[in-house]
Structure 1
Amino acid sequence: MSNIVLKGMITLKLTGLKELYTDMKTKGIKRYKFVFTYSSVSFDVFFFTDETPFKLMFGVKAHNFYFEVNVTKGFVIDTNLGDKYTQLRKILGLQYDPDNPFKTFYFFSAFNKKIPKRADVNHKPEPSDIAYYRSDIEESEKIYFMGWRDNEKRGEKVGAENLHKTRLLLDFEAYLTCKRKNISSRWTHDKSLAQSFHLPD
């Protein structure tokens, strides 16, 4: 683990991610979910490797809070969270102390030590797991994937908002396929109608 200061940014190399990523690749896993606890607060952590740069998303359901960081080449992140910093500090129960301010570098350094080294195939996130934190999607109450619609057969065109939802909740390859073949992802609020995710034909 090392840190570098670039143009006012404090970057951190997440050495722990390298081992996890290597194991994910071996097992054909592009998206992974695990839990990280810091200051008695549990975070859902999502590691997305289906597009570049890779992404880490941290969420706390009890506070309806999440943030994302880009993971660049060498598993390097920028530890600056911008306007999410104050909310994170409050969620962690840390009072502002001008003499000893909370640094997100501490948070990510602790996280680096807790990253699992092996990927469990049962810990791939469901689209609904991700959707819980993403209200910025089309029909945000419909969080369960239920297949594909071929727009060519209907003489219709896949919408930009549907493509955005496909990209966020499924994966980048599905997004590219849908864009190329004019296919829409279909969604429902009824969990009993959910289908396992598979790429469109």
Structure 2
Amino acid sequence: MFKFTALESLHNNMKLNDTKRVVFPFKYNEKGFSCIFITDILPYRLYLSTLGDKPITFELEINNKYETSSYIEDYKKLIEYLEIKYDPNHKFKPNDFFKSLNNKIPENCENKPNYKDVILIAAKHREIEQPNKIYFCGWKNNIVKNVTDGNLEKTRSAFGDELAELCKKKNISSRWTAIDNYEEINKINRIYTM
């Protein structure tokens, strides 16, 4: 296990500002990452996305003591992206990467990711229903069918545990579209139907 002491400091500042999600940059070996820290889902999630045309995303589950496993899924992809060469005197380990990240996590951050970005990133690691549909367009009260696990995971990734649990309890599905205009049209339609 590796403890991210800097995530604890960041999270304490997030609580003071009533913020649940932040995004911040990180560089290792001159290679950039976009990091999203999510605290309204338990365990917390830290997403590290590489920069470039074909980004790779790594998901770390962070417990309430700000610890994560020292294992990284897709470790070889991380090594390739970082262009780490074999060194007989020192074998690169995930904890080397984590230590550097921990030293560069900001204590304060006000940049918030939008839910669309979170869905796109989470879909690479989670079973999310219709991952190409990232524009929220309303709620569906299920009468005959039950809300699916994939829909609940999408709701959780976009809006957090609290809303996902309410949807599960009330058998409500979040509705999504791949057409960005529909999100805006639905907002207007709701105004006219009130």
TM range (shorter): 0.7 to 0.9
Q: Which residue is 1:164 aligned to?
A: 153
Task: Answer whether contact 2:147 2:168 (CA < 8 A) is retained.
Answer: yes
The 3-state SS of whatever aligns with 1:194 is: helix
Alignment match of 1:65 (pick from 49, 56, 62):
56
Task: Answer whether contact 1:127 1:145 (CA < 8 A) is retained.
Answer: no
Matches within 5 A, 1:14-93: 14-62=4-52, 63-81=54-72, 83-93=73-83
Rounded Cα–Cα distance in structure 1 between residues aligned with 2:55 and 2:67:
27
Unaligned segments of structure 1, at least 5 residues: 1-10, 196-201
Q: Taking structure 1 as the reference length, what is the TM-score of the superposition?
A: 0.80
Q: Which residue is 2:166 aligned to?
A: 177
User: Kindly tell me: are residues 61 and 127 of structure 1, through their superposed partners in 2, closer, same or farther at Cα, counting changes over 3 Å?
Assistant: farther
Unaligned segments of structure 2, at least 5 residues: 185-194
Shift of 1:117: 1.1
C-alpha RMSD over aligned residues:
2.0
Shift of 1:72: 2.1
> Once the two structures are superposed, what CA deviation does each residue of 1:108-142 show, in whole Å capped at 9, x if it has no partner?
1111111111131xx22212112222244211111
Task: Report the residue type matching 1:75 in the other structure.
Answer: Y
Task: Report the residue type matching 2:71 in the other structure.
Answer: N
Tell me how many residue pairs correspond in the alignment: 180
The 3-state SS of whatever aligns with 1:187 is: strand
Shift of 1:21: 0.4
Q: Which residue is 1:144 aligned to?
A: 135
> Once the two structures are superposed, what CA deviation does each residue of 1:71-104 show, in whole Å capped at 9, x if it has no partner?
22332222221x4211101001112334322222
Percent of residue pairs bearing the same amino acid type: 34
Task: Answer whether contact 2:44 2:61 (CA < 8 A) is retained.
Answer: yes
Task: Answer whether contact 1:14 1:112 (CA < 8 A) is retained.
Answer: yes
55-64 or 33-42, larger mean C-alpha shift? 55-64
The 3-state SS of whatever aligns with 2:74 is: helix
The 3-state SS of whatever aligns with 1:142 is: coil
User: Kindly tell me: are residues 96 and 145 of structure 1, through their superposed partners in 2, closer, same or farther at Cα, counting changes over 3 Å?
Assistant: farther
Q: Taking structure 2 as the reference length, what is the TM-score of the superposition?
A: 0.83
Shift of 1:61: 4.8
Q: Which residue is 1:3 aligned to?
A: none
The 3-state SS of whatever aligns with 2:26 is: strand
